[in-house]
Amino acid sequence: MDVSESLEAAINQQIGHEFSASHSYLSMASYFERIAYDGFAAWMHLQSGEERVHAMKFYNYLLDRGGVVKLPSIEAPRYEYNSPLEVFEASLQQEQEVSKSIYHLYKLASDEGDYATVSFLKWFIDEQVEEEKTVGDMIDKLKRAQDNPEAILLLDRFASERKSGEEE
């Protein structure tokens, strides 16, 4: 059974959100590279790559379900920030918006009785919980570090040790 037109449109929108997140994380990486926080930059590069993987999961799913991929345009991301904390707060906000749009997709799919899409989306719902938690933890650590340069450098080092989720 092919995906409905309304779900096709919503999935295409979601592909746009994931690519937009990937773009935004790349821009955050460039900010950190500019000010020589290599660990935070590595974190953002990793994150940018993961968002691209998410976009491609939707892309492949849409094709598998007989849909047409219509890539939406992507806005230019922000490239200027005042502190690492500000970047991670922007990251959390972005993740929360993505979570909301995945919930919206889920509701659309379940209202239509498209159980294949409902099942497909479950992975993303769990993934968003994980991502929001990871970013939230970093925000807590950065708040605790406040303006202490040594503490922030320690967190930069900690960020460089982050690994991609193996289950992906």
Q: Binding to Fe ion by residue 54, rule CB under 5 A? A: yes
Q: Binding to Fe ion by residue 156, rule CB under 5 A? A: no
**Nearest residue to Fe ion on Cβ basis:** 54
Q: Which is nearer to Fe ion, 17 or 65 (CB)?
A: 17
Stretch binding Fe ion (CB under 5 A), from 30-38, 75-83, 127-135, 159-167: 127-135
Q: Binding to Fe ion by residue 57, rule CB under 5 A? A: no
What amino acid is encoded at 95 in this protein? E
Closest distance to Fe ion from the beta carbon of 143 (Å): 21
Q: Which two tokens stand for residue 150?
A: 């040594």
Which x/- pattern, by CB under 5 A, does the window 82-121 give for Fe ion?
----------------------------------------
Stretch binding Fe ion (CB under 5 A), from 12-20, 73-81, 110-118, 144-152: 12-20
Number of residues that bind Fe ion (CB under 5 A): 4
Q: Binding to Fe ion by residue 131, rule CB under 5 A? A: yes
| 3-state secondary structure at position 91 | helix
Rounded Cα distance, 62 and 136, in Å: 31
Stretch binding Fe ion (CB under 5 A), from 17-25, 66-74, 75-83, 156-164: 17-25
Closest distance to Fe ion from the beta carbon of 87 (Å): 14
Q: Which two tokens stand for residue 61?
A: 């799913």
Note the helical H segments in the chain.
5-34, 38-64, 84-112, 115-145, 149-160
Per-position DSSP letters for 22-37, written without gaps between them: HHHHHHHHHHHHHTT-
Q: What's 76's DSSP letter? A: P
Q: What's 72's DSSP letter? A: P
Q: Which of 64, 50, 44 is nearest to 156 (CA)?
A: 44
Stretch binding Fe ion (CB under 5 A), from 65-73, 102-110, 130-138, 151-159: 130-138
> CB-hemisphere CA count at 13 Å for 140?
6
Kindly list the residues in this chain that would bind Fe ion in the complex (CB under 5 A).
Answer: 18, 51, 54, 131
